[in-house]
Structure 1
Amino acid sequence: MGTLKVQIYQNMPVIGALELCNLPELTIQNLTMRVDTGATTSSLHVDDIEEFEKDGETWVSFNIHPDIHDVNEIVRREAKVAAVRKIKSSTATRERRYLIETLLEIAGQSWKIQLSLTDRSEMTYLMLLGREAMSGRLVVNPGEEYLLNLNG
Structure 2
Amino acid sequence: MNVEDKKIIGRLESIALPELGIAAMQVRVDTGAKTSSLHVDNIVKYMKQGKPWVKFDIHPDIHNVETLVSCEAVICDIRKIKSSNGNSEQRYVIETPMTLGNETWDIEITLTDRADMNYLMLFGREAIGKRLLVDPSKVFLAK
* TM superposition score category, shorter chain reference: over 0.9
TM superposition shift of 1:72: 2.0
**Structure 2-normalised TM-score?**
0.97
Counterpart selection for 1:48 from 42, 45, 60: 42
Alignment RMSD, CA only? 0.9
Structure 1 residues not aligned, in runs of 5+? 1-6
Counterpart selection for 2:32 from 38, 56, 67: 38
Amino acid at match of 2:90: R
The percent of aligned pairs where both chains have the same amino acid is 49
Contact kept? 1:59, 1:80, Cα under 8 Å = yes
> How many corresponding residue pairs?
143
Partner of 1:135: 129
Partner of 2:51: 57
Partner of 1:85: 79
> Structure 1 stretches (4+) deviating beyond 3 angstroms?
none
Structure 2 residues not aligned, in runs of 5+? none
SS of residue paired to 1:148? coil
Measured in 1, the distance between the counterparts of 2:24 and 2:55 equals 21
Which of 1 and 2 has greater Rg?
A: 1
> Is residue 8 from structure 1 mapped to residue 2 from structure 2 by the alignment?
yes
Partner of 1:3: none
